Structure 1
Amino acid sequence: MSRSAAHPPPRNGFSLVEVLVVLMVMGLLATVAVLTMPGGERKLRDEAERFAARTLAARDEAIVGARPIALVVSDRGYYFERRLRGQWQPLPGKGFDLTGWADGTKASAGRQRIVFDSLGLASSDAVVSLTRDGTTLVVHLRRDGKVTLDAG
């Protein structure tokens, strides 16, 4: 019997199973890291994303309804209005009513009224900065109707 048949050469590298186990462990660690993110930062991002989503929904409502919809935003919160019989009135529907910023969130927006026309175009550019626990996120509303969210 030859020496090579009795003692196969040692293998270099890792098996597929070993690599998959390592990848699974890394995935679990990444999940734990994301779930243990600081609460204030996550709450701020959720609030900014909710504001951006509601603003986009109001823009879409202006397009679908073929009538102007206004976003009124201030340091205390925001709400949406529609033009009815020559006057601005609160826009009915869940998510369009007065929404205050969460406790601990500071907004530097001043008082602004941005009107979306029936094409979805905004009357002006606007910037709303939200700050919580030292973290700042900035929501940009552009005249073309786009809404973006950036780290401050």
Structure 2
Amino acid sequence: MRTSATGNNRRACEAGFTLVELMVVVFLMGLLSGIVALSLPPGMSGPEREAQRLAARLQLAMEEAVVTGDALGFGANSNAYGFFRLRRGQWRAIEDERKFARIAWEPGLSAVIETSGLVLEGDKEGELLPVVRFDPVGGMTPFAITLRQEGERVRIIGDASGAIRIEKGA
């Protein structure tokens, strides 16, 4: 005579989910995933993404100047932007540190840098020269960098006290 641990062998055969029940659960999970995906905010545009990346690197340069006691600089042209360190009275490109390596602008992006009454259109492909200085005491040259691409415009603004902010569509 067969006996089961639960005392009823018939219930063991009926336990579990049917195929229809599983299909309904999978359908509902897919529906909820679609609703969540549609409610997420859209991704950042090219100029906005580039502005976020550049603003973070500018903030890092300002902090690096304070921590190391070295003056750092930022410069750009129509192809790229880069950072510099002031050593023995001369600006030298920072090439050995990945965080300050030269970065090429995204294709189709144009940059205009305004600082101390000087406006650099970024149309020259020449050598990068530092136009924004980050001092070891925490200050910096006031600047505004306007990034444009396909009708979109984003500005990165830095003031003498070291505050950096991003303005969209400005």
Please confirm whether the aligned pair reaches a TM-score higher than 0.5, indicating the same fold.
Answer: yes
Which residue in 2 is equivalent to 1:45?
48
Which residue in 2 is equivalent to 1:72?
75
Q: How does 1:90-109 map to 2 (within 5 A)?
A: 90-91=93-94, 92-109=96-113
- 1:149 match: secondary structure: strand
Rg larger in 1 or in 2? 2
- 2:99 match: secondary structure: coil
Paired amino acid for 1:97: A
Q: Does 1:30 align with 2:47?
A: no
Name the CA shift for 1:25/1:103 in 2 (closer, same or farther; >3 Å). closer
Q: Which runs of 4+ in 1 moved over 4 A?
A: 23-26
Name the CA shift for 1:126/1:74 in 2 (closer, same or farther; >3 Å). farther
Q: How does 1:3-152 map to 2 (within 5 A)?
A: 27-31=36-40, 34=41, 37=42, 42-91=45-94, 92-109=96-113, 110=120, 113-123=131-141, 125-152=142-169
Gaps of 5+ in 2: 1-31, 114-119, 123-129
Q: Compute the TM-score of the two structures, normalised by the length of structure 1.
A: 0.71
Q: CA deviation at 1:151?
A: 1.1
Name the CA distance, whole Å, in 1 between partners of 2:158 and 2:79: 18
Equivalent residues, number: 125
% of aligned pairs identical? 24
Q: CA deviation at 1:89?
A: 0.6
Q: CA deviation at 1:150?
A: 0.5
Q: Is the 8 A contact 2:147 2:153 kept in 1?
A: yes
Q: CA deviation at 1:26?
A: 5.3
Name the CA distance, whole Å, in 2 between partners of 1:141 and 1:46: 18
Q: CA RMSD in A?
A: 2.4
Gaps of 5+ in 1: 1-22
> Greater shift after overlay, 62-71 or 100-109?
100-109
Name the CA shift for 1:67/1:135 in 2 (closer, same or farther; >3 Å). same
Q: CA deviation at 1:47?
A: 0.8
